[in-house]
Structures are given as C-alpha cells and as structure tokens.
Amino acid sequence: MTNNNNAKTLTPDICVIGAGSGGLSVAAAAAAFGVDVVLIEKGKMGGDCLNYGCVPSKAIIAAGKAAATFRSSEKFGVGAHEPEIDFSRVNDHVHDVIATIAPHDSVERFEGLGVNVIQGAGEFVSADTVKVGEQLIKARRYVVATGSSAAVPPIPGIENTPYLTNENLFELTERPEHLIIIGAGPIGMEMAQAHRRLGSRVTVIEALRPLAVTDPDHAAQVIRKMEAEGVEILANTKVNAVERTDNGVKVSIKVDDEAEGTVEGTHLLIAAGRAPNVTSLGLEAAGIEFTRKGIKTDDGLRTTNRKVYAIGDVAGGAQFTHAAGAHASLVIRSILFRMPINHNSITMPAVTYTEPEIGQVGLSEQQAREQFGEKLKVLTAEFSGNDRALAEGKGEGQVKLLANGKGQLVGASIVGPGAGEQIGLLALMISQKLKVGALLGVVFPYPTLNEAIRRAALTYYADAPKNPWVRRILALLRKFG
C-alpha cells in the first residue's frame, strides 16, 4: 500500500477512483495486461455491492426463503410449522457471506495483482491531477467509479427521526418488530418480503405504483404473493412527515391525495432510490460536468474532460453491479486498445429478487407497442403448464416475449421461479438480434423451467395451421406420395 505522505508524484497509465465492482474490474484487467495502475478507495474495498448492497441483501433474502419453506411444506407431505428464527444468527449469516467474498476484493489481492492501492479520498485538483492526502497522481487516463448512495428525500421531520438505509440495515442483530419501508422499488420490496418471512410486521409506502419499472402484469403477481404473506403495501400514498416516538417512528401519510392517516412502527427504512456519489471529487477543478443524476458522459463513457471516464452508478443510467462491470469492460477496450465503444449498445437485463422473481430485458410491452404498433406480437406461456415448476410447487408465473413484425425478439419479462437465471438467455437473443424461431431449434433438458420460454416462442406460429396457404402447400406435397 502506498504511503500517502510520499511527496513523489505518481505517474501511472491509469488511475481508478473507487474500488467497487466497476473500479475493481478496470484495475484487475489493466494489471493483467501489465499496465501501471493506481486504485484509490476511501471506504471498504468491494464498495456498496459487497458491503451494503447485492451481497448482504441476497444473503438475508436467502434466510427469508429458508424460513418460508418451513411454512409451506405441507403440500409436499412434510409437516409445516412456524420456524424458530434467531435474528442475530441471520445477521451472522449475512456477514459470514461478506467475509467469505471479501478476500477476493481485498487490498492484499489487488496488490498481489500488481495494482498500487491507495486508501484515502481522491480529489481532482486540476484537469490532469488527483490528490490523496499529500500524494499527487498524474495519470494518462482516469476512471471515476465512485458508485452511488441511498437517496434520502427531504421529508419533514427526517433530520430528527432515526432511519435505516442499505448502509446500516444489515447491522441489525435484533429483528424489527414493525418495519416501515418508504419506497416500493426492487430494494424496498425485496427487503419487505425478506423481513416479513423472518417474522417482522412490514408496511411498505409507495407514492406511485409498486415495482413501477417492471411489467405491470408481472408486478401484480409479486404484490399478490407478498400481500398473501402478510406484507402491507400502501400504493399511491404520499409521506407527509415522519417523527420519532417513544416506541420508534410515526409516518404521516395521504392516500390518493385525499384520506390522511398515520403508520407507527419500530423501525424506518428509506428505500427511495439512489444518488450518484459526485461530491468531494473536485470535478469542477477537472472540468468535468455533472448533475444530481450523475457525471455527464458521451457514448464512449468519456466525461467532458477527455482524460477522464465515468462508469457504473456515478455515470447515471442503470444502477446495477453488472452494468458497472459491463462499463469496465468497455473502458478497458477504449483505454488500452483504442477501440471505439458505445455503452448504449449494451443489452442490460434487470432482476427483482422477490419470490417470485422478476427478470426483464429489452423493451417493455408499453414501449414495444409504441414502437411497433399492431405488428407487435406478445407471446406468453404460464408456469402452470411447466412440469418442473409444478413438481416443485411453483406453478405461478409467466414468460412474456415481445417480437416485432419480423419475428425478432425485442423485449422479455419473466415472473416466476428462477426468472433471474432464465433472463440471461433472452438477453443474449436480444443482443444478437435473434428471432424467436431460434428458440425452436434449441433442445432444452426435460424437465426444466426453460421449457416455458420455448413454449412461449412456439405460440408465434400458433396461427400457421390455420393459414390457407400452408394447408394448400401441405395438400400439394401429399400428392407426391
């Protein structure tokens, strides 16, 4: 690790600010090619995803699924019962998973790869210089990968009310008695279901439609499932104010701009979106334009300072770990090999890790209808017709494929078991501009969930047997024996 008091100016080929998923990927790839690279991180290596986001959230979701299994085993002939939940051990599980993965993202590993890791806050002091403590760095190229943080809306009373975000939610060792969640996006809904399954009472408050960025039909299935499990979801409900109480918190609400009321709970979780980390970076000194939505970049992820790239959450756009990884791959091509890149060409899938899961990629049904009109074909298949899903007692859900007039797949959404694992196949098809007919040439193992995708694709040709021209051709061919 570099001594920050070293007065010598470092002159690496690449300087990366931020050791989250995107920054680590750039640093590792550059070092693998023998390029001199400096990596700056003021917080924990691994960034938000490892320490406060993807990893801990999926670990607590897994714990919730384990608890739910005990309650729903009767249909398999296994006696169902209410599980005994030790929330402190759930917390241990979450942090054990983080600790297991952490060495892969550690300072020691990256120094072993040949990366010069500097722990401290990096700040541009000019268009071509970054300062960390007393250490100056003049790199040929810079990559800003500082990620994002939980956005806290300006709710009256919030400054005097204790609240949780993803950055401290996973430090709880005692189960919240009644968790109130503001925000019904993927994070809010995932945490709502997980904590309900672990024994908390949960109320979710959403100003608009819950899971608004997902297919409305598929979002409705998730909402029904969660409400059946006991999660209270207040849609089209505005938060007027919050305040501390003797037992926790009180939230004042207005439903549909009319009825007013209050919700009282022991804990409050803010899950109202994320804000790019653009402060304290000295972006103005470097001539880098930015807004509250993130750093401004061109199609090649370059900022208004041609020496500097921005990737991942801080560049705006899709706030996914896999998006940061994809950006990292692109900028490595640009910086090292001078290859032209365009981040808009990326086909970016998204998954909501509720149960059932929702996986989606490409255009939404509404977007596709606006673009293709009557030529759009919406192809569906229900998991109630999938033998594997039925065998596992998970027959609720649907595959929805969107094909244009040429039969090309332009969008897809899956709600059901393993949706996140299946959506990758459809992301590949869209990225390669394949037609749905390509799925009919693939033999899927039986019984697997992927068969539902093939069944949906098959409906593209459902009208073929009724086509008079097809019937005439068949009649003609029969005459030849």
In Å, how far are 24, 58, 142, 395, 424 from 332, measured between CA atoms? 12, 29, 11, 43, 23
Q: Which residues contact 443 (CB under 8 A, 6 or more apart)?
A: none
Retrieve residue 228's tokens. 């059946």
Cα–chain-centroid distance for residue 168?
A: 19
Give the three-class secondary structure for 407: coil
Amino acid at 270: I
Please name the amino acid found at residue 70.
Answer: F
Question: Which pTM does this prediction carry?
Answer: 0.94
DSSP letter at 440 equals: G
Q: From residue 83, how far is each of 56, 98, 113, 147 by CA, in Å?
A: 22, 25, 45, 38
Joined tokens for residue 461: 């040709």
pLDDT per residue as tens digits for the range 255-286: 987 889 999 999 999 999 999 999 999 999 99
Q: Output the pLDDT for position 256.
A: 86
The H-or-E segment that residue 148 falls in is: strand 148-150
Domains and CATH numbers, the chain: 14-45+106-150+275-345 (3.50.50.60), 158-272 (3.50.50.60), 356-466 (3.30.390.30)
Q: Which residue has the tokens 């750039």?
A: 26
Please state the residue numbers annotated as binding site.
58, 122, 146-148, 183-190, 206, 273, 313
Non-local (6+) Cβ contacts of 129 within 8 A are 136, 137, 138
Give the residue numbers of the binding site for NAD(+). Answer: 183-190, 206, 273
pLDDT tens digits, one per residue of 2-52: 444 446 999 999 999 999 999 999 999 999 999 999 999 999 999 999 999
Which amino acid does the sequence have at 8?
A: K
Smallest Cα–Cα separation from 401: which of 211, 219, 218?
218
- What is the sign, positive or negative, of the torsion defined by CA atoms of 352, 353, 355, 359? positive
For every residue of 172-225, DSSP letters joined together read --S--SEEEEE--SHHHHHHHHHHHHTT-EEEEE-SS-TTTTS-HHHHHHHHHH
pLDDT mean over 389-411:
97
What are the pLDDT digits (tens) for 324-361?
999 999 999 999 999 999 999 999 999 999 999 999 99
> Which residues contribute to the annotated binding site for FAD?
58, 122, 146-148, 313
